[in-house]
C-alpha cells in the first residue's frame, strides 16, 4: 500500500501543453469543472481538482496524465499554467514537507476512486480492439505528408462544403486504426503571434489505407465559415485543408485515440450513428468491413446518418451503392423539401426492433460521432427502445460502458 500524502503536500494534476491537442475532452469529462482553457492552454485548477481520474482515460493523447508533488501552498495556479509553453520539471520537496521515499509516491490511481461513468460513453475500447499506436509524431517532431487527393463530397450547390482529403506518408510509418484521429498543424501564426495549435480530425479510411496497401489515409473536413451560433467565422485549419492542392505538403501529428476503436473479433456488429463529418470514422469502419465482405467474418452494420439534405450528406453516392445486405442504411434528413424534419434519434426509435435485437447481442458496439447536440437525443432514444423492450436502461448503459461497447466523439 502507498502511504498517504502529508496534508501540506499536493500531487498536482497538470496537462502537458506540448502534447495536448486542445480537443476539449477533459474539460467536458471533468465532473467538478476543475479544467478550463484559453486560446493557449487547457489547465487544471489545483483548488478544485480532487484527482478523481475521470478525465484521464478519455484523453486521446495522454497529455492529461501528468503529476507533480508540490508543497500545497506553492501549487501552480491557473493563470500561471495558461501561460506555459511546456511543463515545468519536477521540483524537490523541502525536507519539512516530509518528502516521501520514492517507493511510497502514490500512483495516480491511488488518489481517489475513479468517478464511475461520469461520461456518457465508455473510456475503454472493445475487448477485441487492435492495439493502437498514439503520439508517434508530436508538435516537436511532426511528420510531413503529401496531399494526393482533395475533392468535395457534398453537392456543389449546397452550403456544406465538405472535402475528402487524402494524405500520403511515403516511406515513413504512420500506423492507424479506424476511429483514431490525427492532428494537422496549420501554417502561420495565431493572433498572439504563436504557431497555431494542431486541429484534430478523425480518419475516414481504414487501417490499411485509403487505398488498400498504400501508406495513406483520408480525412473528411468541413469548411468552417460560421461558428456554432451562426456568426461569420473563418476556420483556420479547415479552410487551409479544403484549399490544398495535389502535391502540397502538410504537417501531421498523432495518431491519437485509444478507446473509440472497432472490435476486432469475427461477427461483431456495429451500430453507427453520425451527423455530417461525424461520418468519417463510420466510413473507415464500414470500409474495413467492405474489404473483407467475402470472408464470412463480418457481423451486421446498422447506420443512422443525419444531414440537412441528401446533397449535403457527405459520400451520399458511394454510400448508396453499398449492398443492402451488407449495411442497413437509415438517413435522417432535416431540411429536405417536402419531407418532415428528421434526426438520427427519430430513426433509432423507428427502427427500435432492429436496435433492440443488436443491443441484446454482446458482440454489438455502438459509435456516435458528430454534433454535440445529438448526444442527449441519441441516449434518450436508446433508453426508450430499451425500456419499450422491457429492459432496464441504466443496467444496459453501465454494461455498454464497462465493456467498451458505447463510444461518443462529439464536437
Q: Nearer Cβ to ligand A2P, position 5 or 242?
A: 242
29 labelled as ligand-binding? no
Task: Specify whether 218 is catalytic.
Answer: no
Q: Nearer Cβ to ligand A2P, position 262 or 274?
A: 274
218 labelled as ligand-binding? no
Q: Nearer Cβ to ligand A2P, position 84 or 411?
A: 411
246 labelled as ligand-binding? no
Q: Which of 178, 210, 312, 409 is catalytic?
A: 409
CB of 377 to ligand A2P, least distance (A): 4
Q: Which of 42, 137, 201, 315 is catalytic?
A: 201
Q: Nearer Cβ to ligand A2P, position 176 or 347?
A: 347
CB of 279 to ligand A2P, least distance (A): 10
Q: Which of 118, 128, 403, 411 is catalytic?
A: 411
Do 68 and 105 touch, CB atoms closer than 8 A?
A: no
334 labelled as ligand-binding? yes
CB of 102 to ligand A2P, least distance (A): 50
Task: Specify whether 28 is catalytic.
Answer: no
Q: How far is the C-alpha of 116 from the C-alpha of 106, rounded, in Å?
A: 21
CB of 344 to ligand A2P, least distance (A): 5
324 labelled as ligand-binding? no
Q: Which of 23, 26, 178, 202 is catalytic?
A: 202
222 labelled as ligand-binding? yes
Q: Nearer Cβ to ligand A2P, position 24 or 251?
A: 24
CB of 375 to ligand A2P, least distance (A): 8
Q: Nearer Cβ to ligand A2P, position 261 or 406?
A: 406
Do 119 and 400 touch, CB atoms closer than 8 A?
A: no
CB of 400 to ligand A2P, least distance (A): 20
Give contact residues for ligand A2P (rule: CB under 6 A): 160, 275-276, 306-308, 334-335, 343-344, 371, 373-374, 377
279 labelled as ligand-binding? no
277 labelled as ligand-binding? yes
Task: Specify whether 403 is catalytic.
Answer: no
Task: Specify whether 240 is catalytic.
Answer: no
Burial of 39 (0-12, 13-18, 19+ CB in 10 A): exposed
Task: Specify whether 118 is catalytic.
Answer: no
Give the annotated binding-site residues.
202, 222, 277, 334-335, 341, 370-371, 409
Give the annotated binding-site residues for NADP(+).
202, 222, 277, 334-335, 341, 370-371, 409
Q: Which residues participate in catalysis according to the annotation? A: 201-202, 369, 409, 411
Amino acid at each position: 500500500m502507498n502511504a498517504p500524502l502529508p496534508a501540506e503536500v499536493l500531487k498536482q494534476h497538470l496537462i502537458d501543453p506540448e502534447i495536448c491537442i486542445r480537443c476539449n475532452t477533459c474539460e467536458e469529462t471533468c465532473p467538478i469543472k476543475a479544467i478550463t482553457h484559453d486560446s493557449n492552454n487547457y489547465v487544471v485548477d489545483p483548488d478544485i481538482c480532487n484527482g478523481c481520474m475521470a478525465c484521464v482515460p478519455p484523453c486521446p493523447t495522454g497529455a492529461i496524465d501528468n503529476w507533480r508533488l508540490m508543497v500545497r501552498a506553492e501549487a501552480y495556479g491557473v493563470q500561471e499554467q495558461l501561460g506555459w509553453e511546456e511543463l515545468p520539471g519536477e521540483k524537490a520537496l523541502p525536507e519539512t514537507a516530509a518528502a516521501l521515499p520514492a517507493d511510497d509516491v502514490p500512483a495516480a490511481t491511488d488518489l481517489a476512486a475513479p468517478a464511475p461513468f461520469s461520461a456518457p460513453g465508455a473510456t475503454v475500447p472493445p475487448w477485441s480492439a487492435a492495439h493502437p499506436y498514439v503520439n508517434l509524431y508530436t508538435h516537436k517532431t511532426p511528420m510531413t505528408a503529401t496531399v494526393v487527393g482533395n475533392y468535395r463530397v457534398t453537392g456543389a450547390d449546397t452550403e456544406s462544403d465538405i472535402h475528402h482529403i487524402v494524405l500520403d506518408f511515403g516511406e515513413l510509418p504512420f500506423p492507424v486504426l479506424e476511429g483514431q484521429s490525427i492532428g494537422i498543424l496549420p501554417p502561420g501564426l495565431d493572433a498572439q503571434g504563436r504557431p497555431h495549435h494542431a486541429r484534430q480530425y478523425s480518419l475516414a479510411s481504414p487501417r490499411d489505407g485509403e487505398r488498400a496497401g498504400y501508406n495513406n489515409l483520408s480525412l473528411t473536413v468541413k469548411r468552417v465559415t460560421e461558428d456554432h451560433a451562426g456568426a461569420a467565422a473563418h476556420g483556420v485549419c479547415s479552410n487551409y485543408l479544403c484549399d490544398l492542392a495535389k502535391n502540397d505538403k502538410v504537417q501531421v501529428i498523432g495518431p491519437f485515440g485509444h478507446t473509440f476503436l472497432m472490435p476486432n473479433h469475427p461477427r461483431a456488429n456495429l451500430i453507427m450513428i453520425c451527423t455530417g463529418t461525424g461520418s468519417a470514422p463510420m466510413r473507415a469502419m464500414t470500409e474495413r468491413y467492405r474489404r473483407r465482405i467475402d470472408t464470412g467474418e463480418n457481423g451486421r452494420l446498422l447506420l443512422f446518418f443525419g444531414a440537412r439534405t441528401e446533397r449535403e450528406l457527405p459520400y451520399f453516392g458511394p454510400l448508396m451503392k453499398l449492398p443492402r445486405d451488407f449495411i442497413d442504411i437509415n438517413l435522417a434528413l432535416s431540411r429536405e423539401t417536402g419531407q418532415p424534419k428528421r434526426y438520427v434519434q427519430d430513426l433509432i426509435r423507428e427502427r427500435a426492433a432492429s436496435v433492440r435485437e443488436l443491443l441484446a447481442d454482446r458482440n454489438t458496439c455502438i459509435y456516435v460521432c458528430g454534433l454535440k447536440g445529438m448526444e442527449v437525443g441519441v441516449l434518450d432514444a436508446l433508453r426508450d427502445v430499451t425500456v419499450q423492450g422491457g429492459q432496464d436502461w441504466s443496467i444496459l448503459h453501465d454494461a455498454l460502458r464497462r465493456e467498451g461497447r458505447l463510444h461518443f466523439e462529439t464536437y
